[in-house]
Amino acid sequence: TVMGYASWDRSPYEETLNGARLDDEARRTWLPFDPATAGTYRGFGLLNQFLVQAPGARRSAHPDASMVAVGPLAETLTE
């Protein structure tokens, strides 16, 4: 089993650093995290994107710290 840190390319983390908050309009229009369709944060390299696209890949449900795994333990590791 191979596992990697995928994160999320639409994570609001950067917009909420140092106590900052999203304004009402941004909160209303921010797309929700969906592990089945969410992109990966490219700042962590291409391995995470490769794993997400691999057949049988499983991705955890945490929007900012999502993990992706491929292999026999993938489901267990991403629950």
Rounded CA gap, 42 and 71, in Å? 23
DSSP string, 44-69: G-SHHHHHHHSTT-EE-S-SSS-EEE
Domains in the chain, number: 1
How far is it, in rounded angstroms, from Cα 27 to Cα 5? 25
User: What is this structure's pTM?
Assistant: 0.82
Distances (CA, A) of 45 to 6, 10, 74: 9, 16, 20
Range of the domain at 16: 2-78
Q: Give residue 44's pLDDT.
A: 87
36-57 confidence digits (pLDDT tens): 999 998 888 899 999 999 999 9
Q: How confident is the model at residue 24 (pLDDT cuts 50, 70, 90)?
A: very high
